[in-house]
Amino acid sequence: MRHVDFSPLYRSTVGFDRLFTMLDSLAQPDQAQTYPPYNIERTGENTYRITMAVAGFDEKELSIETHAHVLQVKGEKSAEPTEASEYLYRGIAKRAFERRFQLADHVEVQAASLKNGLLHIDLLRNIPEAMKPRRISIAAEPVETPKAIEAHIN
State which CATH number among 1.10.10.10, 3.40.50.300, 2.60.40.790, 2.60.40.10 fits the domain covering 34-80+90-127.
2.60.40.790
Best mean pLDDT range from 61-70, 90-99, 134-143: 61-70
Residue 65 pLDDT class (50, 70, 90 cuts) = very high
Residues 121-129: contacts with CB under 8 Å, at least 24 apart = 121/49, 121/50, 121/51, 121/52, 121/64, 121/71, 121/73, 122/43, 122/47, 122/48, 122/49, 123/47, 123/48, 123/49, 123/50, 123/71, 124/46, 124/47, 124/48, 125/46, 125/47, 125/48, 126/46, 127/46
* Predicted pLDDT at 29: 55
Q: Is the pTM of this model over 0.85?
A: no
The pLDDT of residue 11 is above 90:
no
Residue 111 pLDDT class (50, 70, 90 cuts) = very high
Domain boundaries, the chain: 34-80+90-127
